[in-house]
Structure formats: C-alpha cells, structure tokens
Structure 1
C-alpha cells in the first residue's frame, strides 16, 4: 500500500483548532496537525507530529507550501483579524538566505492578500511570528459568499532552492485590537 506524500490536515475542533477568548474577541490557534503540508506525508522531507499538539519540522524541501482554512462563520462580521505563523529555526537551518517566505490569506471569494518575510539569520530555538511587525489583516465582512472560508498559507516555491530547519508551532488568527463589529 502506497503512502500519501502530502499531509491533509485533521480538522478536529477543540484539539487541532482551539478557540481562544480575549478582550478583543475570539481568536483561534491552529496546530500543525490541522494544516495541509505539501510533502508532509514523506518522512524524508518533514517530521510531522503524531499528537494533535506537537510542532511540524521541515527537514528539507525545495517547495514550501503549508496551508489551512477556517470557516468565516467562526469570525465576527466587520472585524479585522491578523493571521500569523509561530515558528522557530533549528541550529542546522539552511537555504533561507535570499529566499523570503510569503504569508497569504484570502477571505471568501476575494483576492489573496500577502506579505513577505525574511527568516534567514533568526536565532536558533527562539520562537518568532511571521509576519513580525507587518500588519496583515483580513476583514470578515461578508459571511454569505460562495466560499465562506478564510484560506491562509505560508509559501516559498519560487526560488527552487533546497531549504530546511523551519519548525512550525501553530497558526494564530486573532482580532486586531480596537476594531469592533
């Protein structure tokens, strides 16, 4: 029996997708087990967690594509949200110099919005957020569309260079303070 070379996310609300409540409204933490990871099913390229809670470790790929989605019905209408990946680098990380990563998001049937981030030179073992200081917000204004989802992803597919040593801890979707429905 052949194994799948790509990981299809396990969408188990409460285990791999966790709702968090804060002063500005509800947000979500999405664990790597809930993400679709290209080449994530092949242990030569990724070390994916067996548990619902663990991080996913990139061993080596030349095509980085990690994506997921959340139903817009879980977000408040007319509120602005931020999508970010919490990651860290292994001491033996390689291939990131001159290869920025791109974070993209799409609300319903709208166009993708994106930000790039340079992750080369980050201290090994320290968790950081992609994007760091870049504002990346999505507005959940239209909950009644043909595709009522927030689609998001982290990509580096354009350079064709081998890279490794990236650890993905979680994705966070959180309300931007000061925006009200």
Structure 2
C-alpha cells in the first residue's frame, strides 16, 4: 500500500510532524497530500502557542484574527514580513521554512548610555527602518549599548544568534579601535568578540588592531548587520539573554553610527 492510499487524516498527522517547507514539498505528491496540506490541524502545529498574544501586541494586526483566517493564513501573515509589537519597540517574525521565532529589539528597547542626551545621541526617522525611530550617534567617547530578551519568548531546542543591525553615515572614530560584541545568558560572561563596524575600510588609514577582524554584511533591507554571538535555547530554563555593544576603553570620540536594533534569529546550519 503506497502513501497515495492513506486516509487524508493520517496524511495530515504525518505532515504535522514535519516542517512548513516539507509540507509544501509533500503537497505535490498527490491530491490527498495536497488536501491534507491545507488542513487547519497541520498549520496549527507550525504556529507558536502564543501567537494570539503576539497579535494582540501589534496595533496594525490586533484585529486580524477577528476575520477568522485559516491557520495557514495566520502562519503566512507571521512569516511574510515582520509585525511591529510592543508600542513599536520590537518586531516579530516567523522563519518561513521552519516556523522558528525571530525578534528584533528596536533601538528604543535597548539601553543606550547617554541615549537621551541630545549632545550625544539623536533620535530620528528613516524611511527604510521598520521602526518609527532609530538612534543616531552624534558624538561619544563611551559607546555602550545593551539589550536583553527572555528565552521563554524564543523557540525551544533551537540554536540562535544575535545580530547588531545598524548603518554608518560618514563615521569617524571607528578606524583605530575594535568594538566588543558579546552574548551571555543569565549572568554568564563570555569572551567578547572584537569586530570592526566599518564596512568600507579598504585603502583607508586603518589601525593594525582592526586587520583581519570580522566586518559587517549588507542585509537585503539595506542595513548592515554583524553577528554578536550564539546560544542554544533548550526551552527548559527561564533565562535572560544579555547582548552588548561596547567601546569604552580608548576614550576616543566616535560618531556616524545609526542603530536600528538587535535581531535574535535562528542560526542557519552550515
């Protein structure tokens, strides 16, 4: 007896044990598989258990569930593009292929030392940012940015990485000293990762301390990102992931950094 002869309910149960990507591929096997792949029960298994609460935290999507959409429609809405939640201080997104959770903490959700002092930081609107405000570095000699997220908010049994998302607009003061990035869980202390935040240092007068250091990558949305560190979320503990961007030792003045936020997303397998 082949798969084609299985009852649709049995096929739906099989699909619910796979992933959204696998379900899309298997829907091509037969009419029975296609019909089962549209089942609310299948897509319910791919949705996070707290998706109703997440929608309620979004002003633009809070009424979405009132139209009684299918579970597949809900999944596609959460995986199509990030939704803005928590008074525009965070965004939420599902990885389309796996259904794993990803969040970005907006600059307003981060603890930026002297962030509310206009002489040091300026809050502005940029049309290509997903958030209403980004933080623009005017001039500081002490760069300290910290963010945190609880592991209960993330998908369990998942390998995550945190990424600093930013731009450089005519930067000064970043070509002499590396910036320290770190990701720690519940008070643990890892060795900071030293990086160069300036993407275009080739051919410029660069300190030898920056040679060979990791530099940022360009994102599809036009922002730069650089990996801060990794962690595994077992889902068994109620822990806090603490993330930091620091350059506090040199005393040199810096400007031109524009911060959109810190994104925490599943780490892609190599």
Q: Under a length normalisation based on structure 1, what TM-score does the superposition of the two structures give?
A: 0.78
Instruction: Tell me the equivalent position of 2:121.
Output: 46
Larger Rg belongs to: 2
8 Å contact kept, 1:104–1:152: yes
Aligned positions of 1:26-105 closer than 5 A: 26-49=101-124, 53-91=132-170, 93-105=171-183
Q: Contact between 1:107 and 1:140, CA under 8 Å: does it hold in 2?
A: no
Q: Which residue of 2 aligns with 1:159?
A: 250
Give the corresponding residue for 1:150. 241
Task: Report if aligned partners of 2:182, 2:244 keep a CA contact under 8 Å in 1.
Answer: yes
Q: Which runs of 5 or more residues in structure 1 are unaligned? A: 1-11
Higher relative contact order (CA 8 A, sep 6+): 1
Contact (CA 8 Å) 2:155, 2:235: kept in 1 or not?
no
**Once superposed, what is the RMSD of the aligned Cα atoms?**
2.5
Q: Which residue of 1 aligns with 2:89?
A: 16
Contact kept in structure 2, 1:31 and 1:53, CA below 8 Å: no
Deviations 1:131-156 (A, max 9, x none): 3xxx83111236435xx211111111
Separation of aligned partners in 1, 2:255 and 2:175: 12
Following superposition, the deviation at residue 120 of structure 1 comes to 3.5
Question: Which of the two has greater strand per residue?
Answer: 1
Aligned to 1:170: 261
For residues 174 and 155 of structure 1, do their structure 2 counterparts lie closer, same or farther at Cα, with a shift above 3 Å needed?
same
Is the 2:148–2:241 contact (alpha carbons within 8 Å) kept by the matching residues of 1?
yes
1:130 matches 2:229 = no
**Counterparts of 2:120 and 2:143, CA distance in 1:** 10
Deviations 1:32-58 (A, max 9, x none): 011111011110000024895321100
Q: Deviations over 1:118-138 (max 9, x none)?
A: 123638xx631123xxx8311
Counterpart CA distance in 2 for 1:139 and 1:73 is 12
Give 2:194's aligned residue. Answer: 116
Structure 2: tracts of 5 or more residues without a match: 1-84, 202-221
How far off is 1:174 after superposition? 0.3
